[in-house]
Amino acid sequence: MTFTIPIDNGDSVKNAEADSQRTLYPYVTGTSIVAIKYKDGVLMASDMGGSYGSTLRYKNIERMKAIGKHSLLGASGEISDFQEILRYLDELVLNDNMWDDGNSLGPKEVHNYLTRVMYNRRNKFNPLWNTLVLGGVKNGESYLGMVSMIGVSFEDNHVATGFGNHLARPILRDEWHADLSFEDGVKLLEKCMRVLLYRDRSAINKLQIAKITEEGVTVSQPYSLNTFWEFKAFHNPTAGAEGSW
């Protein structure tokens, strides 16, 4: 995907900044988010890594944030764009609170607002380079949806971004069912995150799990998964090919 058509910010002869104002490539990126609906609400997992190309540069980035009283937003992709989105949502929630009238933005409203933002940016060839996961609970109803950088938006019982789509979703398709308990939900997410840890090179072994229920949002402290590397094939890996690198 290339975004090389210039915005009409005047011609590049007179206005040298014209082209540099559009997002062309992502720089610091977060990898997958995996999320599922469970009995009391929604569970979401992400690692805390921010990659700078192939370097695992930042290891303490929180890629999941609470939005208002009823929603939780997780983002993969460009971290600075995620921060920009958080600023937009901050303003949105602020204005909603200022009404002070008993009405509040639920996850459905936030999801649709984000869809409009992402799609409109895409139409201007200046996307926010993220795939967002929006989960929440309001009035007893759980909600889980996703929006991509080109504005594709949908809801489902389980979602994943980036590599998670390829590695986590098959697991979820087989093993997710309605009314998972909290423990089972976390086990399922950890299973997905472990696979991602083994196979996604931009994943790091420091993850958080966030839960949102009618009571609100809790994001766990960072922790790491146990991994197993004692496969026989890993012992003496160069046997049979000495001298090669």
Partner 1 sequence: MFRNQYDTDVTTWSPTGRLFQVEYAMEAVKQGSAAIGLRSSSHVVLACVNKAQSELSSHQKKIFKVDDHIGVAIAGLTADGRVLSRYMRSESINHSFTYESPLPVGRLVVHLADKAQVCTQRSWKRPYGVGLLVGGLDESGAHLYYNCPSGNYFEYQAFAIGSRSQAAKTYLERRFESFADSSREDLIKDAILAVRETLQGETLKSSLCTVSVLGVGEPFHFLDQEAIQKMIDTFEKVPEEEEGDAEVAAPAEQGGGADGLGDQDVAPMEM
Which residues make up the interface to partner 1 (CB under 8 A)?
A: 99, 101-106, 108-109, 112-113, 116
Closest CB 110 distance from partner 1, rounded Å: 8
Nearer to partner 1, 98 or 241 (CB): 98
Q: Catalytic positions, please?
A: 23
- State the Cα angle at 142 between 138 and 146, rounded to 5°: 110
Nearer to partner 1, 73 or 171 (CB): 73
Among candidates 62, 40, 39, which has minimal Cα distance to 49?
A: 62
Nearer to partner 1, 116 or 177 (CB): 116
Closest CB 135 distance from partner 1, rounded Å: 16
Residues 6+ apart with CB under 8 A from 49: 30, 31, 56, 58, 59, 61, 202, 203, 204, 206
Residues 6+ apart with CB under 8 A from 215: none
- Pairing mode, strands 71-78 and 64-67: antiparallel
Closest CB 116 distance from partner 1, rounded Å: 5
Nearer to partner 1, 80 or 104 (CB): 104
Closest CB 101 distance from partner 1, rounded Å: 5
Could you give the CA distance from residue 92 to residue 67 in angstroms, rounded to a whole number? 10
